[in-house]
């Protein structure tokens, strides 16, 4: 009887230790938000072996790796597959679309949130100020409508050429404006002069403008997911390089700017890693495994 009692107590102790270890492991899980273009891949869309392997290792370690990108859904899925995320979440279209990833689903994902808006007022104001710019719009069904056959890899689908009036009447998830005739500085000046209201926007590396619904950013979508995943705020990490990453880097407890990022992006971050050409994201990801 004594032996059985001692074994039982030892077994209980072992179970308590295992439970404690499991709780500690769970507590150490991080939510890691990763931008794509300029962070995971270079400007030619190439992901280096060190970056891919580091991302795969962080996924394998059980951290909540979340792609957070301006890319639309179809342009995001190859990145998700490339780094081996089978279950979790992804944020597309600068926060406009959130996916739940689940390998058991027929498509491997489902859309759990989509933020739409009326693009008319912003488009009219922009067209008046930037008449020669190219315009594209991601509608609520995932189609891309565009003027002048405007096409970009971040769309993920072939854009459908339409007249401007058709775009005005659509319901948008994302609007993209590009001007080859302006510098980013001139583009910024024009947008400030317009005073866009009722939307959220960010200017890219070139004269490129992304517009989303009011209050919608990568950070707003990530914060919603953080609550869903019950991740404590101090267990969040974000890596990015663009102006559309500023809110995300500020949101994260550890916000890391890529080495080639503009000054205002670096100013929003807690630290700076190497550039995308020197596998900066890999250095950050490896640090999470120490």
Residue of higher predicted confidence among 109 and 5: 109
Note the Cα 166 to chain centre separation in Å. Answer: 28
Give mean pLDDT, residues 97-112. Answer: 96
8 A C-beta contact, residue 89 and residue 72 = no
- Does the pLDDT of residue 287 top 90, yes or no? yes
- Does the pLDDT of residue 273 top 50, yes or no? yes
Give mean pLDDT, residues 263-289. Answer: 97
Q: Which helix (H) or strand (E) holds 190?
A: helix 184-194
pLDDT at 12: 45
Q: Token pair of 179, please?
A: 């001007």
Q: Considering only CA atoms, which of 98, 96, 99, 201 is closest in space to residue 139? A: 96
8 A C-beta contact, residue 184 and residue 206 = yes
The span from the CA of 95 to the CA of 215, in Å, is: 10
What percentage of the chain reaches a pLDDT higher than 70?
A: 90
Burial of 107 (0-12, 13-18, 19+ CB in 10 A): exposed
Residues shown for the chain:
290
- Does the pLDDT of residue 14 top 90, yes or no? no
The topology (CATH level 3) of 120-213 is 3.30.1240
- Does the pLDDT of residue 26 top 60, yes or no? no
pLDDT category of residue 213 using cuts at 50, 70 and 90: very high
- Does the pLDDT of residue 21 top 60, yes or no? no
Give the pTM.
0.87
The topology (CATH level 3) of 31-115+216-287 is Rossmann fold (3.40.50)
The span from the CA of 245 to the CA of 243, in Å, is: 5
Q: Domain limits of the chain? A: 31-115+216-287, 120-213
């Amino acid at each position: 009887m004594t032996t059985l009692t001692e074994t039982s107590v030892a077994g209980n102790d072992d179970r308590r230790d295992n439970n404690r270890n499991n709780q500690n492991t769970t507590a150490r899980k991080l939510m890691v938000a990763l931008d794509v273009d300029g962070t995971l891949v270079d400007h030619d869309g190439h992901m280096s072996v060190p970056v891919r392997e580091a991302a795969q290792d962080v996924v394998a370690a059980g951290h909540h790796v979340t792609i957070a990108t301006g890319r639309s859904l179809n342009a995001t899925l190859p990145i998700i597959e490339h780094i081996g995320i089978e279950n979790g979440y992804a944020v597309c279209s600068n926060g406009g679309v959130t996916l739940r990833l689940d390998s058991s689903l027929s498509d491997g994902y489902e859309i759990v949130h989509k933020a739409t808006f009326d693009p008319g007022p912003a488009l009219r104001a922009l067209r008046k100020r930037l008449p020669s710019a190219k315009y594209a719009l991601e509608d609520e069904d995932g189609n891309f409508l565009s003027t002048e056959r405007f096409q970009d890899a971040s769309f993920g689908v072939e854009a459908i050429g339409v007249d401007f009036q058709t775009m005005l009447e659509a319901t948008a998830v994302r609007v993209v404006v590009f001007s080859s005739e302006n510098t980013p500085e001139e583009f910024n000046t024009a947008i400030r002069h317009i005073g866009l209201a009722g939307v959220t926007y960010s200017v890219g590396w070139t004269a490129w403008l992304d517009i989303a619904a009011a209050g919608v950013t990568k950070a707003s979508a990530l914060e919603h997911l953080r609550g869903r995943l019950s991740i404590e705020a101090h267990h969040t990490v974000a890596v990015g390089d663009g102006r559309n990453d500023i809110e995300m880097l500020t949101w994260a407890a550890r916000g890391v700017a890529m080495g080639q990022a503009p000054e205002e992006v670096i100013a929003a971050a807690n630290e700076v890693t190497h550039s995308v050409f020197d596998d900066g994201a890999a250095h950050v990801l490896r640090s999470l495994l120490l």
